[in-house]
Structure 1
């Protein structure tokens, strides 16, 4: 089976500093895959390279077997990969529905002749309505996006990716800044909304990682040191040592201080 995302010997340098060191990573179609690691491990850099926001110093990136290493983000998006960021990226002055409608129209734009773009509005509207339900924002359909709560804006971000028609999604810390109840709701939303799609996410909350991911890869100092099921990663002594040194600890909770507080309050973001 051709991987949805395949990364081969990927390197990234900023001047003399080597951020990624020969990263190999394979994400299977329809898999939910989490990328975890300590601060400064290179997770966001790897995401930027896959999404086309930066160019690697060496190596190759493939999307369903096609080389996307040197493509710009718009070209990669047209091939079916969409990315959400740590901060929300919606149009704050448009309604929730109009945000989704814009994404749906852009998704179809490059597949149509110019005269078809005026007759395809109904299809875009119908797709936007479907996505509203998928991300649980039906009751907020006509609300201005800038007035949504933080958790609702993250749901809208997910909706924009879905409305674009993407079959492969990159989610960058999708529950960062949420309290425990919001995070639990977000996990259920992501699980339902991404059914049948491929998901690669960066996440620091181990409850989210172990509750959502089919497999987990651990990035430390620019290298993938382990890939496996959540259960295998939780028990891996190499992973435990990478996070906790000689302190031991429980991978179901905070990993070596790289997650946030555990008192149920709002959690901050880390990179």
Structure 2
């Protein structure tokens, strides 16, 4: 039985005016794998995430989610097909409690519409799902604290929780350890490993310890093109990747 990729890009291109950001990107993310996308600043990684999540439109090419065309879908439609994204900067509601942030994320994933929020907010089902995620991300101690009072690393954990709360099967994480010290980054990667088990993960990250310690496969984006995809050991040993991004001394 053939298993469809969770996410597949075919010849995806993006330009802004006369400036080409992405040039014929082909990328396959297998169902259930942890896949890292790396590359120098300006390579087009965040733009690629925006296309996948429906926040921007590709200039050419096709994006498939579980085998279905998602190239022109809105962010809401893509979310309801089971894809969630976190951003480089925290996107929590700072004045709401941690618990209410999670409840909002659970409600946003429902198909009932905005008018049903009053009926569902505070329901046992919504609260149970929010509590499950709260426990998974280790923030029970701060459940009723304003999200804006959390430490930076805790806010990043809550960001992950918001992506998980809707039950997404495919997660896009954009630099989840950015701004953290080494100990915080290590804890964040452990949290991602534990909470994304069984889900598909595509992650943009500059911390190579995080990338090579977590990813099943790695793709390298340079000047808008994927120049290599493979297991971490293959990417470490790839001369073209070292020359373009990792540096000649990496892994030696």
TM-score by length of 1: 0.88
**What CA deviation, in whole Å up to 9, does each residue of 1:21-49 have, x standing for no partner?**
10000000111000000111111110110
Measure the CA separation in 2 of the matches of 1:176 and 1:112: 33
User: 2:72 — aligned with what?
Assistant: 70
Deviation at 1:178, TM superposition (A): 0.2
Change (3 A) 1:115 1:172: closer
Of 157, 162, 165, the match for 2:164: 162
Residue 248 of structure 2 is aligned to residue 248 of structure 1: yes
CA contact (8 A) 1:31 1:199 kept: yes
User: 1:223 — aligned with what?
Assistant: 225
CA contact (8 A) 1:109 1:117 kept: no
User: 2:124 — aligned with what?
Assistant: 122
User: 1:27 — aligned with what?
Assistant: 29
- More displaced stretch, 132-141 vs 153-162: 132-141
- More displaced stretch, 164-173 vs 118-127: 118-127
Of 141, 157, 160, the match for 1:139: 141
- More displaced stretch, 191-200 vs 135-144: 135-144
Change (3 A) 1:113 1:30: farther
Which runs of at least 4 in structure 1 moved beyond 2 Å after TM superposition?
108-120
User: 1:104 — aligned with what?
Assistant: 106
- More displaced stretch, 130-139 vs 105-114: 105-114
User: Unmatched 5+ residue regions in structure 2?
Assistant: none
Deviation at 1:112, TM superposition (A): 11
User: 1:183 — aligned with what?
Assistant: 185
Change (3 A) 1:15 1:112: closer
Measure the CA separation in 2 of the matches of 1:146 and 1:193: 23
User: Unmatched 5+ residue regions in structure 1?
Assistant: 253-271
Measure the CA separation in 1 of the matches of 2:65 and 2:250: 35
CA contact (8 A) 2:103 2:121 kept: no
Of 35, 51, 54, the match for 2:53: 51
Measure the CA separation in 2 of the matches of 1:207 and 1:135: 21
Measure the CA separation in 1 of the matches of 2:52 and 2:156: 21
**What CA deviation, in whole Å up to 9, does each residue of 1:211-265 have, x standing for no partner?**
1101000001110000001111001111111126xx621148xxxxxxxxxxxxx
CA contact (8 A) 2:94 2:147 kept: yes
What SS class does the counterpart of residue 11 from structure 1 fall into? Answer: strand
Report the aligned-residue RMSD.
2.0
